[in-house]
Amino acid sequence: MNKTEKTVVGDSEKLTAAKSVRDSEKPAAAKSVEDSEKMAAIKRVEARVKSMEDFTDPDELYKELVASIRKYHPSDDISMVEKAYKIAREAHKDQKRRSGEPYIIHPLCVAIILADLEMDKETIVAGLLHDVVEDTIMTSEEIRAEFGEDVEQLVDGVTKLGRLNYSADKVEVQAENLRKMFLAMAKDIRVILIKLADRLHNMRTLKYMSPDKQKEKARETMDIYAPIAQRLGISKIKVELDDLSLKYLQPEVYYDLVEKIALRKAEREKFVQGIVDEVKKHIADAGIKAQVDGRVKHFFSIYKKMVNQDKTIDQIYDLFAVRIIVDSVKDCYAALGVIHEMYTPIPGRFKDYIAMPKPNMYQSLHTTLIGPNGTPFEIQIRTFEMHRTAEYGIAAHWKYKEQSDGKKSNGNQEEAKMTWLRQILEWQRDMSDNREFLNLLKSDLDLFAENVYCFTPAGDVKNLPAGSNPIDFAYSVHSAVGNKMVGARVNGKLVNIDYVIQNGDRIEIITSQNSKGPSRDWLKIVKSTQAKNKINQWFKQELKEDNIIKGRDMMNAYCKAKGIVQSDITKPEFMQVVMTKYGFRDWDSVMAAIGHGGLKEGQVINRLLEEYKKKTQKEMTDDQVLASVENTARERSQRHTSKSGIVVKGIDDVAVRFAKCCSPVPGDEIVGFVTRGRGVTIHRTDCVNIIHLPTEDRVRLIEAEWQAAASDVSGRFPAEIKIFGNNRTGLLVDISKIFTERKIDVLGVNSRTSKQGTATISMSFEVESRAELDSLISKIRQVESVLDIERTTG
C-alpha cells in the first residue's frame, strides 16, 4: 500500500517518557544526539507495521485497490468491484470513524488487504460491502439482487460473526472454544479471510480507541484472530496481528524491543549480509539458481523466544533468518547440502517440513547453523510456490481456479499449479468446484470437529457433540438445571426440547420447582454421555428403595447358594470396611448399588468373608487351631499342582490355561472357571468377565492359587497394559527404551490419539511375575507426559 503507508511517529512519545529517568544523568548535548539517533532508528523499524494515513481521499484508495487487483487478476472487467464501491460509499456517506475520517475508508482498506492476498473478486466485493447490512439500511436481499448469491452469503457470514460478543474476562480462558466456534460458524473459509482483513485494519487504527478498549481488542486479537490466521497459514496477516497486539497489551515491552533492535540493527545487518553474500556465492558455484535474502524476525516471535528461553535480547542471536528460495524441491535439498558443507549444523535443529508439511500446508527446510564467529543463525530453504503458501496460506489458492467471468490463465501453468496443490493436500480429484474445494479444505484441516459451540445467557461458551439439543445443554450447565428443566429458549425464541443446537446459538433453560424430573424418553434423544449419565443417576436415586430390596434379595440368594451364614458376616465392623472400600455412606446405598448393577453381590460378600475370617482367626482356641491345621492338610491333599504352577482345589490332572482377557501373572489374585471340555481357565479376580458373570454360571467358579512362592513358578507370562498420556513426539520411543533396558520382549503395540491430544498406547509383552510387572509400570509412570497406566481387565 504505497500511498497509505507511513511510519508510526506519535507512539514514539511513549518511549521518550519511559526513558526519561535513566537518561537524566547524561550530559544534555550527548543525550540530545543519542535520542535523535534512536528516534530515527525506531521510526525505520516501526515502519514495518503499517498504519493508514488519516483522511486519505477514498477515490485515491479505490485507484490503489484497482491497481492491486489488476496485478494478479486475469480479467480486465472490474465493473462488479466499481459498482460495490459506489454502493458502499453511498450507504456509508453520513458515517464517520472514531478518528473522524469518512467510514468508507475502512471497507476500502479491508478490500485492499484482500487484494494483497490476491483473493477472487467476489471476496473483494464482499469486503467492500461487509458493513452495509449491519450499519446501513441496505438489506441482504438487495445485495443478492445486485451481486448474486455468493457475495450475499459472504456478507451475511461476516455480519453473523460480527455479532459474536466476547467477554473480556473470559476470552483468555475460553479462547480455544471461541476460535473453534468462530471457524465452525463460517460456512465459507473466505468469510474468515474477510473478518481477518477487517480485524487487521481495525488494529492498525487502534490508537483512536480508549486505553481499555485497546487492551480488550488486542487481547481478543492475540487469543482468537492471530491463531486462526496461523491455522490458515497466512503469516502475512498473522505476523502483523501479533506485533500490533503486543504493542497495545505490553507497550513497555514492545517499545523496549523496538529500541534495542534499532540500536544493534547495523551490527546485525552486517553479520547477516556477510552470511547472505557467502551463501549466494556457494549456491551459484553449485549451479543452483536461487534468491537469497536476510529478514528480521517480527517482534512478537522475539518476545516469545525471550520468555520461553528466559533470555535477554542480547542472548538471542538469531534475530535474523536467511531465506533461500529456489525453483524446485530437488534444488531445496541440493541447497541444503551446500549449506551443511559450508557451516556446522546444530544437532536436533533440522526440520523437514517439505516431506512432512505442517497442518496449515506450510513447507520449508529449516536448519540452524554455527556462523564463522561462533554465532548461531537460521536458514530456511523453500521453492517460490512454498514461499507463496507460507505468506498467503489458504488464500494462495484462489488464484489457481477459474474466475467468475469464465476467463482462465495459461492452461499448462494452471494445471501444473493444480497438480502441485493436489500433491500437498493428497487429494486425487478435480478441484475446479469452489464449494467442494472449501468443504474438503475444512475437513482436511479439521477446522471444526464433530462439535457444536453455543452460549449461555451469561456469555460462557459450551462445547457439545454435534446434534445436541437443549437437554444436553441443560445438563452441561448443572445436573440440577437438567432435572428441573421444563423448556428452553434459543436466541430469545421458545423451542422444542429436541431442537438441534446450531453454532453460535444463545440458549436459556426454563426450569420449574414443580418439575417431576427427567423422562426416560430423554435418554433416546440426548447426544452427550454427560447428559445420559446424569439422567441415569437421577433414576437410580428415584428408584433407590426398589433397588435396596432387590440388592438384599440378591445377597440372600448368593449366601444360600454358597452355604454362607449371612448373619455371621453382616456385622457392623465388617460392613464399615466394605462401605469405606467402595465409597458409600450407609449400607442401604451398598444394597441399592447391588440392586441396579453397580456392584456385584459376590464382591461384597467375599470382602465381608475376608473380614470375618480375620476376626475368627484371632479368637480361635488351641483345639480349634489343631483342627484347622488338620483341615488345611486335608485340603492340600485334595489340591493338585499343574505344570503351569497353579494349584486347583479338589481336581487332579486337569488342563489349566490362562485367560487372554485379563492375562494373570504370578502374584495376582486368581480364580478358576470350569469350562465345558477345555479344563479350567484361570482369571484374575478383578477381571470384568468374572465380576459380571451371570448368577447361574457362578457355580462353575473354583478356588485356585499360585504355588506356595512366586519363585516356584517358572517361565514367562503374557501381560498387557494401557498407557494414557499427553501426545508428544518421542513418547513411544521413551516408553520402548524402558522395555529394552529391562530385556522385556514387546509382543504387540497399538497406539491412537484422540482429537483432544490424549494418546492411548496398548502394549503386550511377557513377564516372570507380578513384582516385575509392578516395577515396570512404576518406571513407565516416570516418563514425561504419561498420565496413567492400567492393566487390561477384559
For 518-533, what is each residue's pLDDT tens digit? 988 898 899 887 888 8
Confidence category of residue 473, pLDDT binned at 50, 70, 90: very high
Q: Please name the amino acid found at residue 587.
A: W
Annotated catalytic residue: which of 35, 53, 82, 135?
135
* Angstrom distances, CA of residue 499 to CA of 164, 379, 467, 537: 21, 55, 9, 24
Confidence category of residue 365, pLDDT binned at 50, 70, 90: very high
- Give me the phi and psi of 671, to 5 degrees please: -145, 150
pLDDT higher than threshold 70 for residue 556: yes
* Angstrom distances, CA of residue 352 to CA of 318, 394, 565: 19, 21, 72
Q: Is 697 a catalytic residue?
A: no
CA–CA dist 689, 661 (Å, integer): 8
CA-wise closest residue to 109 among 62, 73, 155: 62
* pLDDT value at residue 217: 86
* Lowest mean pLDDT, pick from 97-101, 194-198, 210-214: 97-101
pLDDT, greater one: 435 or 489: 489
Q: Which residues pair with 684 in a beta bridge?
A: 670
- pLDDT mean across residues, the chain: 76
- Give me the phi and psi of 648, to 5 degrees please: -110, 130
Q: Which residues pair with 656 in a beta bridge?
A: 680
Q: Tell me the mean pLDDT in the region 484-491.
A: 92
Confidence category of residue 492, pLDDT binned at 50, 70, 90: confident
CA–CA dist 344, 321 (Å, integer): 16
What is the helix (H) or strand (E) element at residue 467, kind and residue range?
none
Longest dimension (CA), the chain: 113
pLDDT higher than threshold 60 for residue 423: no
CA–CA dist 501, 504 (Å, integer): 9
CA–CA dist 382, 290 (Å, integer): 10
Residue 84, all three cell numbers? 460495490
pLDDT higher than threshold 80 for residue 575: yes
Q: How many CB atoms lie within 10 A of CB 625?
A: 11
Q: Please name the amino acid found at residue 239.
A: V
First and final C-alpha spacing in the chain: 66
* pLDDT value at residue 441: 39
459 three-state secondary structure: coil
C-beta of residue 536 within 8 angstroms of C-beta of residue 523: yes
CA–CA dist 596, 551 (Å, integer): 8
C-beta of residue 153 within 8 angstroms of C-beta of residue 185: no
pLDDT, greater one: 167 or 590: 590
pLDDT higher than threshold 90 for residue 499: yes
Dihedral sign for Cα atoms in the order 750, 755, 757, 758: negative
C-beta of residue 793 within 8 angstroms of C-beta of residue 662: yes
pLDDT higher than threshold 80 for residue 341: yes
pLDDT higher than threshold 80 for residue 81: yes
Following DSSP, what letter does each residue of 339-368 receive, concatenated? Answer: HHHHSEEPTT--EETTTS--TT----EEEE
Q: Tell me the mean pLDDT in the region 602-606.
A: 86
CA–CA dist 645, 668 (Å, integer): 13
pLDDT higher than threshold 90 for residue 565: no
Angle 244-249-254 from CA coordinates, rounded to 5°: 65
Express as a percent the part of the chain with pLDDT over 70.
73
CA–CA dist 582, 157 (Å, integer): 53
| pTM for the model | 0.47
CA–CA dist 324, 536 (Å, integer): 62
Q: Is 134 a catalytic residue?
A: yes
* pLDDT value at residue 484: 92
* pLDDT value at residue 650: 64
748 three-state secondary structure: strand
Q: Which residues of 344-360 are buried (b: 16+ CB within 10 A; e: fewer)?
A: eeeeeeeeebbeebeeb
Residue 676, all three cell numbers? 465345558
Per-residue pLDDT tens digits for 761-776: 999 999 988 888 988 9
CA–CA dist 294, 269 (Å, integer): 8
* Lowest mean pLDDT, pick from 297-301, 315-319, 784-788: 315-319
* pLDDT value at residue 164: 60
CA–CA dist 113, 65 (Å, integer): 9
pLDDT higher than threshold 80 for residue 622: no
* Angstrom distances, CA of residue 748 to CA of 423, 491, 722, 751, 764: 33, 52, 12, 10, 5
Annotated catalytic residue: which of 34, 134, 635, 784?
134
* Angstrom distances, CA of residue 415 to CA of 363, 401, 419, 422, 463: 20, 10, 6, 10, 41
Give Rg (Cα) of the chain.
36
User: 702 CB contacts (<8 Å, ≥6 apart)?
Assistant: 648, 649, 650, 651, 671, 672, 673, 674, 680
* pLDDT value at residue 399: 46
Confidence category of residue 785, pLDDT binned at 50, 70, 90: confident
Query: Whose grid coordinates read 465380576?
Result: 691
Length of the chain: 794
CA–CA dist 406, 365 (Å, integer): 37
CA–CA dist 639, 633 (Å, integer): 10
Lateral strand order in the sheet of 717-726:
746-753, 758-767, 717-726, 786-791
Confidence category of residue 447, pLDDT binned at 50, 70, 90: very low
Per-residue DSSP letter, 378:
E
User: 87 CB contacts (<8 Å, ≥6 apart)?
Assistant: 129, 132, 138, 146
Per-residue pLDDT tens digits for 92-144: 888 888 777 888 888 999 999 888 888 888 888 988 988 887 776 778 888 88
pLDDT, greater one: 677 or 491: 491
CA–CA dist 110, 98 (Å, integer): 17
Express as a percent the part of the chain with pLDDT over 90.
11
Q: Tell me the mean pLDDT in the region 562-590.
A: 85
* Lowest mean pLDDT, pick from 141-155, 327-341, 386-400, 760-774: 386-400
* pLDDT value at residue 431: 32
* pLDDT value at residue 76: 67
Q: Which residues of 201-211 are buried (b: 16+ CB within 10 A; e: fewer)?
A: bbbbbbeebee
Q: Please name the amino acid found at residue 267.
A: E
CA-wise closest residue to 442 among 180, 659, 627, 85: 180
Residue 40, all three cell numbers? 530515527
Q: Tell me the mean pLDDT in the region 294-310.
A: 71
* pLDDT value at residue 38: 53
789 three-state secondary structure: strand
CA-wise closest residue to 722 among 785, 780, 659: 780
Per-residue pLDDT tens digits for 651-676: 666 778 888 888 898 888 888 888 87
What is the helix (H) or strand (E) element at residue 179, kind and residue range?
helix 175-185
What is the helix (H) or strand (E) element at residue 475, kind and residue range?
helix 470-477
pLDDT, greater one: 433 or 553: 553
Following DSSP, what letter does each residue of 408-454 receive, concatenated? Answer: ---HHHHHHHHHHHHHHHT--S----HHHHHHHHHHHTTSS-SEEEE
Q: Tell me the mean pLDDT in the region 713-718.
A: 77
User: 197 CB contacts (<8 Å, ≥6 apart)?
Assistant: 110, 111, 113, 114, 117, 127, 237
pLDDT higher than threshold 60 for residue 633: no
Q: Tell me the mean pLDDT in the region 451-476.
A: 84
Confidence category of residue 738, pLDDT binned at 50, 70, 90: very high
pLDDT, greater one: 32 or 563: 563
